[in-house]
Amino acid sequence: MTNEPLSAALPQGLAGDPYARLAALGLTLPLSPTPIANFRPATREGDMIFLSGQGPTEAGGRLYTGKVGDDVSSAEAYRHARLTGLNLISVLHEAVGDLRRVRRIVKLFGMVNSTADFAEHSRVIDGCSDLFFEVFGEPGAHSRTAIGVNSLPRLITVEIEAIVAVD
């Protein structure tokens, strides 16, 4: 986690191309995670894409679990939220076919599986928010809610959903 302005983290000279920005960040899109229950990863209504909650799952299937504020630090959870953001981008790519069609990341809703006295939910979910700004530039800046919860499916550390406007 850093306190630098978001613009300092943007890859330079890659105006508007999220794929080039992903490459500059050393990131590749994983396969979209398979839903664990009866829902669609993405639903489109007009020019809006609603992305179901995703968690911190690596391409090889490793799932990050634990209680933030107990056995998981804020810094670790920030990285988990960043990974979750990459999974959301993968689902978005699959839903729209081309990330250059993204007009705006409208809103994120982030949940942190945390202890009752944990108070850094917003800093944790910044992992996803920072990634979206780095990948999409200004259209990646969004409104957001970050809350703490007592439990999440499969005991994951974070779950994040998104609403995205597309062309």
Quick: pLDDT tens for 66-107: 999 999 999 999 999 999 999 999 999 999 999 999 999 999
Cβ proximity of 135 and 18 under 8 Å: yes
In the sheet with 143-149, reading across from the earlier edge strand, the strands are 42-45, 48-54, 158-166, 102-113, 143-149
- Per-residue pLDDT of 111-165, as tens digits, reads 999 999 999 999 999 999 999 999 999 999 999 999 999 999 999 999 999 999 9
- Cα separation, 147 vs 95, in Å, equals 27
Domain boundaries of the chain, sorted by first residue: 19-28+40-166
> Rounded to two decimals, what is the model's pTM?
0.91
- Per-residue pLDDT of 10-47, as tens digits, reads 545 556 799 999 999 999 999 887 777 889 999 999 99
| Class in CATH terms, 19-28+40-166 | alpha beta
